[in-house]
Chains A and B, each alone.
Chain A
Amino acid sequence: MIQHIDVHAVLQESVSGVYTDLVTRPTGRVVRECIERAMATAAADVAVARIDFTGVGCIDYSCADEIVAKLLRTRPGVLVLMGISDGHREAIEPVLAGHRLAVLIERPDGTLEAVGSPDAAAALLEELVARRLAARSPGGTLTLT
């Protein structure tokens, strides 16, 4: 089972109904804590949390660290990011690489990509297949099952 979390909605409800950018540590902390609470109340059979960044403007390095890196370090489940723009990736990738972490990004066509530290990214994809949470297409791309 997949849990869907709308980050833009979390931002609007928890921090600001005006701004759409994920900037500053305090903002990142509040948004992460809301996401963690939502994940904690999810059904027991949720194996994947899909964190949807659609509608989020800018993400700075502080928020990438405070939200994505800390969720990866503290939450045992599988995280999949969606609605990720090139600008979002610019912040998320180097932050994760610095922590030797990786995260899954679901592209608009549903295929998965692991970004961050190359070693961690390869291990993440292997784990996903081993746990049968994702399957390879004949073309070699991965999608969630």
Chain B
Amino acid sequence: MTRLVEVPTQFDDRSFDQFASAFAEAAKDGERLLFDAHAAEWASPYGLVGLLAAGQAAQGTGRASGGSGERPLLTAPTHADVLTYWTRAGFFREAAELFEIHGKVPRVKPAEESDVLLPVTPVRAAEDVHAVVSNIQQRASAILASELGLDPKATMGFAMALSEACQNIVEHAGTGGWVAVQAYHWRRKLAKRVVVIAVADAGVGFRHSLEPTQSKRFGTRWGDAAALEAALIQGVSRFRDPGRGQGLAGIRRYLTRWDGKIAIRSGTARIAIVPKWDDDVPLKDGLPAFPGAQVLIIIPEQGSTKR
């Protein structure tokens, strides 16, 4: 039997919980999953890497529960523009390994010169982080400086933030993940350009990663929300080395300087450092369970951010 998981027509961080809920419900008995994206009209980088993480998790779920171990199915978007964009963003290149794809996927190369600053890129090892940082510096510096009005010095900070976000996968997820970076005009919220970093994996998540060293400290409060709070707000790490935990702290410093936002979803919780231009909530618990961790970083165009 195949269980259906609908991909939201507008698939981004705001509709992700709807997707996670459908995924959790469909995956609970270990049947083969069909991710239906035929009606998708738009997906943010967060949506695309999140869908890949779901595909990764669906494979694990099937095997663990004695399922067939078959790859989950994915119905590709039917709208030609959407299909082309997903292809240019590098989604199908990665999805081909995870899903049995139904629908015509155009033969378009992932973008090299466009707002897709970094197509969907796998992150499995430190070497991948090197490649990501090297690529992004070549492609992002012009957009960060000229279009977002960031000081040229901010380009290196951006690369640092990206590096640390990717390293969370390598060091904590216990599996591979994906990163994507894109610049776009964000009409709904800011009416200005933003650069978005999206990182997702279907690994063990923050709670599992921090449990051996942190759960006692939190006692009955321990859970996904407490783990996210420990990692992002208190800068704790699963490693006892006193220098650990620098990565997320560094990302926070960078985002504070450039009025940016970070949100991390893991398990059943989501935490965010919310700038004044946004109305997100700092911490949400009791969300539909979704494996691993999904990170969203937004850096807005400088100069006239709504306050």
Contacts and interface: CB of A to CB of B under 8 A. Distances in A.
Interface string B153-195: 1011101100110010011000000000000000000000000
Interface residues of A, number: 31
Contacts of B155: 87
B281 to A, nearest CB: 27
Given A21-B159, A94-B253, A62 B247 contact: yes
Contact of B250 (A58, A66, A91): A91
Given A19-B134, A24-B126, A94-B253, A58 B246 contact: no
Contacts of B247: 60-62
B153 A99 contact: no
Contacts of A16: 127, 130
Nearest to B126: A24
Given A19-B134, A23-B130, A24-B167, A98 B159 contact: no
A69 B163 CA distance: 19
Contacts of A60: 133, 159-160, 163-164, 167, 247, 250
A70 B246 CA distance: 14
Given A21-B134, A23-B133, A60-B250, A87 B163 contact: no
Contacts of B164: 60-62
Contacts of A88: 156
A83 interface: no
B243 A27 contact: no
Contacts of B246: 61-62, 64-65, 95, 98
A88 to B, nearest CB: 8
A60 B129 CA distance: 11
A19 B167 CA distance: 17
A23 B243 contact: no
Interface in B116-165: 126-127, 129-131, 133-134, 137, 153, 155-157, 159-160, 163-164
Contact of A26 (B126, B159, B242): B126
Contacts of A18: 130, 134
B120 to A, nearest CB: 20
B243 A70 contact: yes
Contacts of A69: 243
Contacts of B156: 57-58, 85-88, 90
A25 interface: yes
A86 B155 CA distance: 11
A23 B170 CA distance: 12
B39 interface: no
Contacts of B129: 23-24
B250 A61 contact: yes
Contacts of B126: 24-27
Nearest to A87: B156
B185 to A, nearest CB: 27
A19 B249 CA distance: 25
Contacts of B137: 21, 57-58
Contacts of B243: 65-66, 69-70, 95, 99
Contacts of B134: 18-21, 57
- 7 tightest Cβ-Cβ pairs between the two chains A and B: A87-B156, A65-B243, A61-B250, A24-B126, A61-B246, A60-B163, A23-B163
Interface of A: 16, 18-21, 23-27, 57-62, 64-66, 69-70, 85-88, 90-91, 94-95, 98-99
9 contacts: A19-B130, A20-B134, A23-B129, A23-B130, A23-B167, A60-B159, A65-B244, A91-B250, A95-B246
